[in-house]
Amino acid sequence: MRLSTRGEYGVKAMIDLALHYGEGPIALKSVAERQFISEHYLEQLIASLRKAGLVTSVRGAQGGYELARPPGEITVGDVVRVLEGPIAPVECVDESQEFSNCTHSESCVTRIVWKRLRDSITQVLDSTTLADLSAEARKMQAREAPPMYYI
Protein backbone atom coordinates (compact mmCIF):
# COMPACT_ATOMS: atom_id res chain seq x y z
CA MET A 1 0.00 0.00 0.00
CA ARG A 2 2.79 2.35 -0.86
CA LEU A 3 3.01 5.00 -3.49
CA SER A 4 6.26 4.87 -5.44
CA THR A 5 8.50 7.91 -5.51
CA ARG A 6 6.91 8.81 -8.85
CA GLY A 7 3.66 9.75 -7.18
CA GLU A 8 5.34 11.21 -4.15
CA TYR A 9 7.77 13.41 -6.10
CA GLY A 10 5.19 14.26 -8.70
CA VAL A 11 2.77 15.70 -6.15
CA LYS A 12 5.57 17.67 -4.51
CA ALA A 13 6.62 19.13 -7.83
CA MET A 14 3.06 20.02 -8.75
CA ILE A 15 2.54 21.84 -5.45
CA ASP A 16 5.75 23.69 -6.11
CA LEU A 17 4.39 24.76 -9.48
CA ALA A 18 1.10 25.69 -7.84
CA LEU A 19 2.93 27.96 -5.42
CA HIS A 20 4.45 29.76 -8.40
CA TYR A 21 1.35 29.73 -10.53
CA GLY A 22 1.01 32.93 -12.58
CA GLU A 23 4.71 33.76 -12.48
CA GLY A 24 5.43 32.36 -15.92
CA PRO A 25 7.45 29.22 -16.66
CA ILE A 26 9.40 27.73 -13.76
CA ALA A 27 12.65 25.92 -14.53
CA LEU A 28 12.64 22.29 -13.50
CA LYS A 29 16.07 22.74 -11.98
CA SER A 30 14.68 25.14 -9.40
CA VAL A 31 11.81 22.80 -8.56
CA ALA A 32 14.21 19.89 -8.20
CA GLU A 33 16.45 21.91 -5.88
CA ARG A 34 13.65 23.15 -3.66
CA GLN A 35 12.14 19.68 -3.39
CA PHE A 36 15.42 17.75 -3.13
CA ILE A 37 14.69 15.58 -6.14
CA SER A 38 17.10 14.48 -8.87
CA GLU A 39 16.49 16.83 -11.77
CA HIS A 40 16.90 14.15 -14.41
CA TYR A 41 14.48 11.86 -12.66
CA LEU A 42 11.96 14.65 -12.25
CA GLU A 43 12.30 15.27 -15.97
CA GLN A 44 10.85 11.84 -16.65
CA LEU A 45 7.95 12.45 -14.34
CA ILE A 46 7.09 15.87 -15.70
CA ALA A 47 7.23 14.48 -19.22
CA SER A 48 4.34 12.20 -18.28
CA LEU A 49 2.48 15.08 -16.69
CA ARG A 50 2.96 17.18 -19.80
CA LYS A 51 1.75 14.42 -22.09
CA ALA A 52 -1.28 14.04 -19.85
CA GLY A 53 -2.02 17.75 -20.21
CA LEU A 54 -1.50 18.73 -16.59
CA VAL A 55 1.44 21.05 -17.28
CA THR A 56 2.67 23.05 -20.25
CA SER A 57 6.27 23.69 -21.11
CA VAL A 58 8.28 26.53 -22.62
CA ARG A 59 11.55 25.50 -24.20
CA GLY A 60 14.81 27.37 -24.33
CA ALA A 61 16.49 29.75 -21.94
CA GLN A 62 14.14 31.22 -19.31
CA GLY A 63 11.81 28.37 -20.19
CA GLY A 64 10.23 25.98 -17.80
CA TYR A 65 6.91 24.49 -16.77
CA GLU A 66 3.56 25.83 -15.67
CA LEU A 67 0.36 24.24 -14.53
CA ALA A 68 -1.95 23.87 -17.51
CA ARG A 69 -4.93 24.87 -15.37
CA PRO A 70 -5.40 26.88 -12.17
CA PRO A 71 -4.32 24.96 -9.03
CA GLY A 72 -7.93 24.70 -7.93
CA GLU A 73 -8.73 22.67 -11.00
CA ILE A 74 -6.07 20.01 -10.59
CA THR A 75 -6.49 17.34 -7.95
CA VAL A 76 -3.93 15.09 -6.32
CA GLY A 77 -5.87 12.24 -7.89
CA ASP A 78 -5.16 13.62 -11.36
CA VAL A 79 -1.44 13.64 -10.64
CA VAL A 80 -1.34 10.25 -8.98
CA ARG A 81 -3.26 8.57 -11.79
CA VAL A 82 -0.82 9.88 -14.38
CA LEU A 83 2.26 8.80 -12.47
CA GLU A 84 1.08 5.64 -10.75
CA GLY A 85 -1.62 4.36 -13.04
CA PRO A 86 -5.26 3.72 -12.23
CA ILE A 87 -6.21 3.66 -8.59
CA ALA A 88 -6.92 0.08 -7.58
CA PRO A 89 -5.73 -1.83 -4.53
CA VAL A 90 -6.04 -5.02 -6.56
CA GLU A 91 -6.40 -5.56 -10.28
CA CYS A 92 -9.99 -6.74 -10.24
CA VAL A 93 -11.30 -3.38 -9.01
CA ASP A 94 -9.38 -1.29 -11.53
CA GLU A 95 -11.47 1.82 -12.09
CA SER A 96 -10.49 1.97 -15.76
CA GLN A 97 -11.89 -1.50 -16.44
CA GLU A 98 -15.58 -1.44 -17.16
CA PHE A 99 -16.27 -5.11 -16.82
CA SER A 100 -15.71 -7.28 -13.80
CA ASN A 101 -12.72 -9.42 -14.56
CA CYS A 102 -12.89 -11.70 -11.58
CA THR A 103 -11.94 -15.12 -12.83
CA HIS A 104 -12.92 -16.93 -9.67
CA SER A 105 -16.18 -16.44 -7.88
CA GLU A 106 -14.34 -16.53 -4.56
CA SER A 107 -12.58 -13.34 -5.48
CA CYS A 108 -15.88 -11.55 -5.51
CA VAL A 109 -16.02 -11.67 -1.74
CA THR A 110 -12.72 -9.95 -1.22
CA ARG A 111 -13.70 -7.65 -4.04
CA ILE A 112 -16.18 -6.01 -1.70
CA VAL A 113 -13.46 -4.64 0.57
CA TRP A 114 -11.17 -3.70 -2.27
CA LYS A 115 -13.94 -1.70 -3.91
CA ARG A 116 -14.74 0.08 -0.71
CA LEU A 117 -11.05 0.76 -0.25
CA ARG A 118 -10.65 2.06 -3.78
CA ASP A 119 -13.61 4.39 -3.40
CA SER A 120 -12.33 5.76 -0.15
CA ILE A 121 -8.91 6.37 -1.69
CA THR A 122 -10.31 8.14 -4.73
CA GLN A 123 -12.60 10.19 -2.53
CA VAL A 124 -9.62 11.63 -0.67
CA LEU A 125 -7.37 12.10 -3.68
CA ASP A 126 -10.04 13.59 -5.91
CA SER A 127 -11.30 16.04 -3.32
CA THR A 128 -7.89 17.56 -2.64
CA THR A 129 -6.72 20.17 -5.13
CA LEU A 130 -3.29 21.70 -5.56
CA ALA A 131 -4.87 24.97 -4.41
CA ASP A 132 -5.87 23.37 -1.10
CA LEU A 133 -2.34 22.19 -0.52
CA SER A 134 -0.59 25.37 -1.55
CA ALA A 135 -2.87 27.28 0.77
CA GLU A 136 -1.66 24.99 3.56
CA ALA A 137 1.92 25.55 2.43
CA ARG A 138 1.52 29.30 2.72
CA LYS A 139 -0.04 28.95 6.17
CA MET A 140 2.96 26.89 7.28
CA GLN A 141 5.43 29.36 5.89
CA ALA A 142 3.69 32.13 7.76
CA ARG A 143 4.04 30.14 10.96
CA GLU A 144 7.70 29.43 10.29
CA ALA A 145 8.59 33.07 9.65
CA PRO A 146 6.33 35.09 11.96
CA PRO A 147 5.95 38.87 11.46
CA MET A 148 8.55 40.99 13.26
CA TYR A 149 7.34 43.67 15.63
CA TYR A 150 9.60 46.69 15.82
CA ILE A 151 9.62 48.89 18.86
The footprint of a copy of itself (CB under 8 A) covers 1-3, 7-8, 11-12, 15-16, 34-36, 76, 80, 84, 87-91, 103-110, 112-114, 116-117, 120-121, 123-125, 128, 133-134, 136-137, 140, 144
Among 14, 17, 28, 92, binds DNA (CB under 7 A): 28
Question: In sequence order, which ranges of 36-89 are alpha helices (DSSP H)?
Answer: 39-51, 76-84
Establish if 143 lies at the interface with DNA (CB under 7 A): no
Establish if 107 lies at the interface with DNA (CB under 7 A): no
CA dihedral 138, 140, 143, 145 (to 10 degrees): -70
Stretch that binds DNA, among 61-69, 73-81, 125-133, 142-150 (CB under 7 A): 61-69
Stretch that binds DNA, among 16-24, 63-71, 108-116, 121-129 (CB under 7 A): 63-71
Which residues, in sequence order, are CB contacts of 145 under 8 Å at separation 6+? none
Which residues, in sequence order, are CB contacts of 56 under 8 Å at separation 6+? 50, 65, 66, 67, 68
| Closest residue by Cα to residue 82 from 105, 112, 55 | 55
Stretch that binds DNA, among 62-70, 112-120, 122-130, 136-144 (CB under 7 A): 62-70
